[in-house]
Amino acid sequence: MFKAFFKKKNTIESFEDLNIPNHIAIIMDGNGRWAKKRNMPRNVGHKAGVEKVKTISKACSKFGVKYLTLYAFSTENWNRPDQEVNGLMDLLVFFLKNELTEMHESNVRIMTIGDLSRLPEKPRKTMENAIKTTENNDGLYLIIALNYGGRAEIKEAIKHIAQDVKDDKIKVDAIDDSLIENYLYTKNIPDPDLMIRTSGEFRLSNYLLWQLAYSEFYFTDVYWPDFGEHALLEAIKVYSSRQRRFGGV
């Protein structure tokens, strides 16, 4: 588990000389295809994907990544069959209940972005408990994007800004990037330095549309259940080799 893992010596090649991203965001894609390839039900792939969350969280802590944001369930995922959606919610509860103690002891802080109000009561309360239990931890920030959509986030931010302008709480001329960011789910969370998408797809799928404006993108054909520590290190190596200019020269 987390605690035991952190006590181990490095078992892979050195990463000390790499430029480690402060914040990694991941689209965990390919669970269903991973299962289909093995003639298994899709939810078996999702369960394997949950196991990989532990692996990558541990690796991020070891490498010195401070923030890890995982796209767990999008606003569009409600369109999937009820059996699959229910299975995903059950896996969320299973993961949090089984790993919360270890993560808390390892100083992991669990956070979420998205609208939790639509979630069924059990997964919603389980997530709220995990957030409350770990709220004072300051190790790895594990941010789970749950019932999250980038367009919905921006739309809600616009509504709240408009209401505050109407109520004369802010002036129109005061609206700048910093103010908008204070109305997003990710308020006080730095933008991702590196966005990783697994499974060979090349799109954002409504993920962190504002926050990824200047992030480095890394796409891999590896399905999420097969994406391990070495694969993460390879992504960080590619990131480390790039020069980020943020629109400059």
Q: Which residues are catalytic?
A: 29, 77
Burial string for 166-193 (b: 16+ CB within 10 Å, else e) reads: eeeeeeeeeeeeeeebebbbbeebebbb
Q: Which stretches does DSSP call E strand in 83-239?
A: 109-113, 141-148, 194-197, 216-219
| Complete edge-to-edge strand list for the sheet that includes strand 194-197 | 109-113, 141-148, 67-74, 23-27, 194-197, 216-219
Residue pair 220/194 in contact by the 8 Å Cβ criterion: no
Enter the tokens of residue 107.
């100083």
Q: Do 147 and 116 form a contact (C-beta atoms < 8 A)?
A: yes
Cβ atoms within 10 A of the Cβ of 209, count? 13
Distance of alpha carbon 204 from alpha carbon 221, whole angstroms: 15
Contact in structure between 238 and 218 (CB atoms under 8 Å): yes
| Terminal-residue alpha carbon distance, the chain | 44
Place of tokens 């969370």: 189
Bridge partner residues of 217 (DSSP): 195
What are the structure tokens assigned to 97, written together? Answer: 């209940």
For residue 190, report the phi and psi dihedrals to the nearest 5 degrees: -65, 150
